Amino acid sequence: MLRVSAATIDRLLKPIRSGAKSRRKRRRSKKASKEIPVRTFADWGQPDPGYLEVDFVVHCGASMAGSFVHTLIATDVCSGWTEFVPLLAREQSLVVEGLEVLFNQIPFPVLGIDSDNDSAFINDTLLAFCRKHRVEFTRSRAYHKNDQAWVEQKNGAVVRRLVGYERFSGVVAGQALAHLYQAARLYVNYFQPSFKLRRKERQGAKVRRIYEQPATPCKRLLRHPSIDDEIKARLRSQRAQLDPLRLLHRIREGQTALAALVSTNSSLEGPGRESLDQFLAQLPRLWQAGEVRPTHRAQSPKPRHWRTRKDPFETVWYDVLRWLQESPETTAKDLFERLQFEYPGRFADGQLRTLQRRVREWRQVMARKLVFACMNETAKGSEIVGAGGTRSRSGPYVSQEDVSQELANCIL
C-alpha cells in the first residue's frame, strides 16, 4: 500500500467518486431545493428584526484552486445588524457550526434566514438545522444578486474593506480573521451609521429614492417596538462599556496581522508559525520592515512607453493624417472603413480600437499645439500657419506634408 502512487489511487477511486457525486446532486435537486421556498427582494416588505440574509465571502486571492478561508456573513434586513465568522472550508457541517456562533452573538432571536443557491446552504443538513431551531429558511433566485441586496452590500462595505482581496488559508489565518472580526462586529453594529431606504417615488422615467436618517444598527433596534425591553437594556449596557477608539485600534492591529500573513517581505513566513499567540508576539518588530498596507492593494504600474508588437498602421499613417487634415471631424470608425476599402484584406475588425486610440492621441497633440514643438529644429522660429502650409519668419517655407511628417514622427 505504501508503494502505490497517488495517480493509481485516483484511477481506482474514479468510478466511486463519480457515483457519489451523481447521488449527491440528485439528492440536492430532488429534495432540498424543492422544499426551500424562493424569496425575491420585493417579498421582504418591512420585516421585524430577526430575518437574516446569509452569504459567503471567499478569500482566495486570484485563484480558486486549493483550500482557503471563507467568511460566513449574516445581515438583518430590518436593522442592518451584521455578524461574520471565518470558516476554514466551505462545508455544510461547518456552516451549521458557524450559524450556531452567529445565533449566539446576535442579541435578538432569529426568525428566518435567506441564502443563495450555494450547495453549502441548499442541503438537508441546513434544512434540518432550521427545523430544529424553528427558523424559516428561504432562498433567492439563481443568478439574481439583487435578491440578497442587504448582505451583498455588507460584503463589500464591511468584509472587503476590512480584509481586502488577498488569499488566506490555514488555521493561523482563520484565527487572525476571528480576532479581527470580534472587534469589527462591535464597531460596525454600535458605532457605524448607515442609510436605509424608506421608499421609492417614480417621476416619469426618473426614480427618486428617499432614505431615513443615518443610524447605527443598535439605534434602529432600540427604536423598534417589537424588541423587548430586556434586550434594549442589554444593548444600552454594552454600548456604554465600549470605546470606539479602542475598537479601531484593535481593528488596525488585526489588519496589520493579516497584511503580514500575505506579505512577501515578512520574516514570519514558513513553518515556524505554530500558533496565533506566537505570531502576534512578533508583530512589534514589523515596523523595522516598514508598514504593510492593510488593504493589500498593489500600487498602480508605471505607464508603458514602449511597443510590444509591430504597429499595423505604420505604413498608412500618413494617409490617415492627410484624411484628418482634409476633414478633421471624421471619426476613427469612418477612417478605419476607408482603410479597409483602400487596402482590402489587410486590416481586421479587431484593430479598430487601436486606430481610435491613435486618432485620440493625434487630436490631443493638435489641441495642445505640440506640433509646433516638434518643428522647432526645422522652423527655428515663430511660425505663421496658413491654408497652404507654414512659413517661418526666419526660416524657409514648410509645406503641409512636412507638418504631417513631423506630427507622425511625434506620435510614432
CATH number at residue 78: 3.30.420.10
Distances (CA, A) of 374 to 305, 317, 371, 401: 18, 17, 5, 14
- Tell me, what's the pLDDT at 90? 87
- What pTM value is reported for the model? 0.58
Same domain, 105 and 201: yes
Q: What is the mean pLDDT of residues 272-293?
A: 55
Q: Is residue 262 part of a domain?
A: yes
- Tell me, what's the pLDDT at 377? 46
Percent of the chain exceeding pLDDT 90 equals 35
Query: The C-alpha cell of 193 is what?
Result: 451609521
Same domain, 205 and 333: no
Percent of the chain exceeding pLDDT 70 equals 76
Q: Are 164 and 294 in contact (CB under 8 A)?
A: yes
Q: Is residue 192 part of a domain?
A: yes
Same domain, 32 and 96: yes
Same domain, 189 and 111: yes
* Angle between helix 400-411 and 352-367 (nearest 10): 120
The domain tally of the chain equals 2
Question: Domain containing 325: what range?
Answer: 317-411
Q: Is residue 20 part of a domain?
A: no
C-alpha span between 263 and 63 (Å, rounded) = 17
Distances (CA, A) of 363 to 43, 359, 366, 368, 408: 53, 6, 5, 9, 12
CA angle, residues 297, 174, 52, in degrees to nearest 5: 90
Same domain, 281 and 322: no
pLDDT above 70: residue 103: yes
Same domain, 203 and 66: yes
Q: Are 359 and 324 in contact (CB under 8 A)?
A: yes
Identify the DSSP state of 107: S
Same domain, 275 and 341: no
Same domain, 261 and 352: no
Same domain, 34 and 164: yes
Same domain, 265 and 339: no
Q: What is the mean pLDDT of residues 363-379?
A: 57
**Element of type H or E holding 76:** strand 70-76
Same domain, 79 and 202: yes
Residue 299 pLDDT level (bands cut at 50, 70, 90): low
Beta strand ranges found along 126-285 (DSSP E): 136-139, 197-203, 206-211
Q: How does pLDDT run across 162-201, given as a tens digit for each residue?
A: 998 889 988 888 999 999 999 999 999 999 999 888 888 8
Q: Is 170 helix (H, G, I), strand (E, B) or coil?
A: coil
- Sorted by sequence, the CB contacts under 8 Å of residue 45 that are 6+ apart come out as none
pLDDT above 80: residue 229: yes
Q: How does pLDDT run across 302-357, given as a tens digit for each residue?
A: 777 777 878 888 888 888 888 888 887 888 999 999 999 888 988 888 889 889 98
C-alpha span between 392 and 374 (Å, rounded) = 14
Same domain, 284 and 348: no
pLDDT above 50: residue 382: no
Q: What is the mean pLDDT of residues 37-41?
A: 90
Query: The C-alpha cell of 36 is what?
Result: 426551500
Query: The C-alpha cell of 310 is what?
Result: 509591430
